[in-house]
A and B are shown apart, each in its own frame.
Chain A
Amino acid sequence: DAMVIQNPRYQVTQFGKPVTLSCSQTLNHNVMYWYQQKSSQAPKLLFHYYDKDFNNEADTPDNFQSRRPNTSFCFLDIRSPGLGDAAMYLCATSRASVYNEQFFGPGTRLTVL
Chain B
Amino acid sequence: DQQVKQNSPSLSVQEGRISILNCDYTNSMFDYFLWYKKYPAEGPTFLISISSIKDKNEDGRFTVFLNKSAKHLSLHIVPSQPGDSAVYFCAASMGSNYQLIWGAGTKLIIKP
In contact, B34 and A107 (Cβ under 8 angstroms):
no
In contact, A100 and B93 (Cβ under 8 angstroms):
yes
CB-defined interface of A69-108 with B at 8 Å, one 1/0 digit per residue? 0000000000000000000001110000001111111110
**Complex interface: chain A residues within 8 A of B89 (CB):** 42-43
**Contact stretch, chosen from B57-65, B73-81, B97-105:** B97-105
In contact, A101 and B102 (Cβ under 8 angstroms):
no
**Complex interface: chain B residues within 8 A of A57 (CB):** 99
Tell me whether A55 is interfacial, beta carbon within 8 Å. yes
Chain A interfacial residues counted at CB < 8 A? 26
Interface centre among B2, B44, B101 (most CB of A within 10 A): B44
Within 8 A of B (CB), among A20-41: 31, 33, 40-41
**Complex interface: chain B residues within 8 A of A42 (CB):** 2, 4, 89, 101-105
Tell me whether A48 is interfacial, beta carbon within 8 Å. yes
In contact, B98 and A40 (Cβ under 8 angstroms):
no
Tell me whether A110 is interfacial, beta carbon within 8 Å. no
Tell me whether B45 is interfacial, beta carbon within 8 Å. yes
In contact, A55 and B98 (Cβ under 8 angstroms):
yes
In contact, B43 and A45 (Cβ under 8 angstroms):
no
- Shortest CB distance B107–A (Å): 9
**Complex interface: chain A residues within 8 A of B34 (CB):** 100-101
